[in-house]
Structure 1
């Protein structure tokens, strides 16, 4: 398949993407209002709760997250304000962004359900890795979760733009293969990592999270230390997911030596980390 005039780089702006037939979904109004409150000094929890309550789907999603094994407390929250107090505003905002991006994507409902199931599993693995990573943490659990939910969000955008995307990339059915950016670049002159980065930036995610989305398939030098660690978390999450689901990883994608360097841990610590993460992940899957 040949695409004319569609070369997309990380420097492209959303307006340039529109001219090339790629459309970034807008943020829901409630999410925009929540971001504005997060930028204010000492925002009132009542105001935050009212913004969330104005969006029924967002409210339901945050209730579900707050009561999940990832965040659950002995006494589950009963009101939106209790949800916000339990999670805290930064985590609430990150989870709201992760929930909203799922609703924002158009396409075949069955295909998207499989796609988001995979993204959610990788986000959960990323959050568990961040929580169990030895040493001083520079990536919070919610930032890792957010990166996991957004890391492949360029895929449904490419699916919508190119009806033959799944067949061309060989992931039709998602049986034992996932998107390969080299195949995407050859077929469509762009890849899901760059598109995901542009969406993350458009949705005002923290810069190092957006950068991690951009570089999550990279094996070379990463711009900053926090970004490098988050990329390492994502790459380990993808590897563990592929291992658990018996999926085929792109050739040369997993480099344990590089991951040890990015996560700043030893081989023994890596083995312990993987065992802990998979054990907790199985609890979430029950």
Structure 2
């Protein structure tokens, strides 16, 4: 059981049905991962507007795992204009304090949770999330002048978009097998998830994102990343379009069918300024940059 009222207060932003589902999951043992110390300290400094990059760098460097992955992320082609980068201070200067904080949040989420059980499954899950996040970051970098979504924001949404899935894995021991997540190219079918578990990983992910104080439009994108048509014209819609194109490129890279693409393609084109004619060349550019990063 989650202690305190903050999680339950967040459920008030959900509809009655979704809120009831979330309450049942929480009462049934779903545990929202707490934010690590490095994020708490960074947030305190930023709330006090203490932007001394040397001090912020020291906070980040207290967590060697986060630091190592931060260097890996900023080595992405999306940040090639800043290379070479040799220190956390340089990352903060080059990428920006808020942008670096977004990346640290994403990295911290990949390290949250108990991996003692089903370690291989969780590692495969986060590997997929990191691939989606890298692709989303590259799509955002290529279309930033069109949709005004930046690579760090897209990476954050890419890491968090399915973060409800491992929580449902923890709650329901048969979840992974029942959803066929071990099959190549297979991912969660929302209708099947609802029928078998009376749960929605998008809503659970939204809950996590709100609890971790992610920007509101990213929280909305997480909640509606399988329901692009339901979003009005604002940044969350653009973010979901980026995620959906990242999914499509991911499936193409696996040579697997994407069950959602036909239903969202025109919405994605509208948001990102693409078309049936321009898409293949755009995808080739993103794939080339993606594989350049070693994926």
Normalising by the residue count of structure 2, what TM-score does the alignment of the two structures yield? Answer: 0.85
Report the Cα distance in structure 2 between the residues aligned to 1:252 and 1:275, rounded to whole angstroms. Answer: 17
1:82 is aligned to 90
Say yes or no: does 1:106 pair with 2:114: yes
Among 147, 160, 185, the alignment partner of 2:194 is: 185
Question: Which range is displaced more, 22-31 or 40-49?
Answer: 40-49
2:37 is aligned to 29
Task: Tell me if the contact between 1:61 and 1:99 (Cα under 8 Å) persists in the aligned partners.
Answer: yes
Count of residues in correspondence between the two structures:
278
Among 145, 148, 167, the alignment partner of 2:155 is: 145
Among 133, 144, 158, the alignment partner of 1:123 is: 133
Report the Cα distance in structure 2 between the residues aligned to 1:45 and 1:112, rounded to whole angstroms. Answer: 33
Task: Tell me if the contact between 2:162 and 2:222 (Cα under 8 Å) persists in the aligned partners.
Answer: yes
2:180 is aligned to 170
Q: SS at 2:290's partner residue?
A: helix
Distance change >3 Å, CA 71–CA 219, structure 1 → 2: closer
Q: Comparing both structures, which one devotes a greater share of its residues to helix?
A: 2
Report the Cα distance in structure 2 between the residues aligned to 1:272 and 1:99, rounded to whole angstroms. Answer: 30
Task: Tell me if the contact between 1:8 and 1:17 (Cα under 8 Å) persists in the aligned partners.
Answer: no
Task: Tell me if the contact between 1:94 and 1:146 (Cα under 8 Å) persists in the aligned partners.
Answer: yes
Task: Tell me if the contact between 2:206 and 2:220 (Cα under 8 Å) persists in the aligned partners.
Answer: yes
Among 60, 66, 86, the alignment partner of 2:68 is: 60
Task: Tell me if the contact between 1:212 and 1:230 (Cα under 8 Å) persists in the aligned partners.
Answer: yes
Say yes or no: does 1:272 pair with 2:281: yes
Report the Cα distance in structure 1 between the residues aligned to 2:42 and 2:19, rounded to whole angstroms. Answer: 27
Among 39, 50, 54, the alignment partner of 2:47 is: 39
Task: Tell me if the contact between 1:10 and 1:197 (Cα under 8 Å) persists in the aligned partners.
Answer: no
Cα displacement string for residues 243-268 of structure 1 (whole angstroms, at most 9, x for unaligned residues): 11123433666432121123243433
Report the Cα distance in structure 2 between the residues aligned to 1:259 and 1:53, rounded to whole angstroms. Answer: 38
Two-structure CA RMSD over aligned residues (Å): 2.5
1:3 is aligned to none
Report the Cα distance in structure 2 between the residues aligned to 1:133 and 1:69, rounded to whole angstroms. Answer: 14
* Gap regions ≥5 residues in structure 2: 1-14
Distance change >3 Å, CA 248–CA 9, structure 1 → 2: farther
Question: Which range is displaced more, 27-36 or 229-238?
Answer: 27-36
2:12 is aligned to none
Normalising by the residue count of structure 1, what TM-score does the alignment of the two structures yield? Answer: 0.88
Task: Tell me if the contact between 2:77 and 2:289 (Cα under 8 Å) persists in the aligned partners.
Answer: no
C-alpha deviation, 1:86, in angstroms: 2.6
Report the Cα distance in structure 2 between the residues aligned to 1:196 and 1:67, rounded to whole angstroms. Answer: 27
Q: SS at 1:268's partner residue?
A: coil
Give matches, 1:4-19, under 5 Å.
10-11=18-19, 17-19=25-27
Say yes or no: does 1:154 pair with 2:172: no
Among 197, 213, 218, the alignment partner of 2:206 is: 197
Report the Cα distance in structure 2 between the residues aligned to 1:134 and 1:156, rounded to whole angstroms. Answer: 31
C-alpha deviation, 1:186, in angstroms: 0.8
Question: Which range is displaced more, 12-21 or 233-242?
Answer: 12-21
Report the Cα distance in structure 1 between the residues aligned to 2:212 and 2:159, rounded to whole angstroms. Answer: 13
C-alpha deviation, 1:61, in angstroms: 2.1
Task: Tell me if the contact between 1:8 and 1:189 (Cα under 8 Å) persists in the aligned partners.
Answer: no
* Gap regions ≥5 residues in structure 1: 1-6
Task: Tell me if the contact between 1:152 and 1:196 (Cα under 8 Å) persists in the aligned partners.
Answer: yes
